[in-house]
Amino acid sequence: MTASPDTSDHPVIGLDEVVHQRVRLGILAIGHEARRVEFGYLRDQLDLTAGNLSKHLSVLEAAGLIDIEKGYEGKRGRTWVTLTPAGDAALAAEISRLKVLIARVEEKT
């Protein structure tokens, strides 16, 4: 019989449900790298449909993690995504938690 580990301080407890989802984490990571990223680029890089990407962007915008700007480039309508300071902080916090989790897993191998 093995002892049950104390999970009250386990690193997964601090993961942010809004940020941690694969697509949303990808949006934040790409947005952090690019600072301002076009909708089509995100759609292509994350291999999503426009509708699926729109839903994820709505979640992030509602959480205050991104700003969405609509405009035109020539005659074509465009949508750009920019991380807010809260989005940058949320991404940094998530990465920090993941590093703790990785270190914990690696020390057990």
Please check whether residue 19 lies inside any domain of the structure: yes
**Helices (H), ranges, the chain:** 17-20, 22-34, 39-45, 50-62, 85-107
Please check whether residue 22 lies inside any domain of the structure: yes
Say what the pLDDT of residue 1 is.
40
Please check whether residue 103 lies inside any domain of the structure: yes
* 58: CATH: 1.10.10.10
**pTM of the model as a whole:** 0.85
What domain range is 75 assigned to? 15-107
Please check whether residue 10 lies inside any domain of the structure: no
Give the three-state DSSP class for 14: helix
Tell me: pLDDT of 2 over 50: no
* pLDDT tens string 23-50: 999 999 999 999 899 999 999 999 999 9
Tell me: pLDDT of 57 over 50: yes
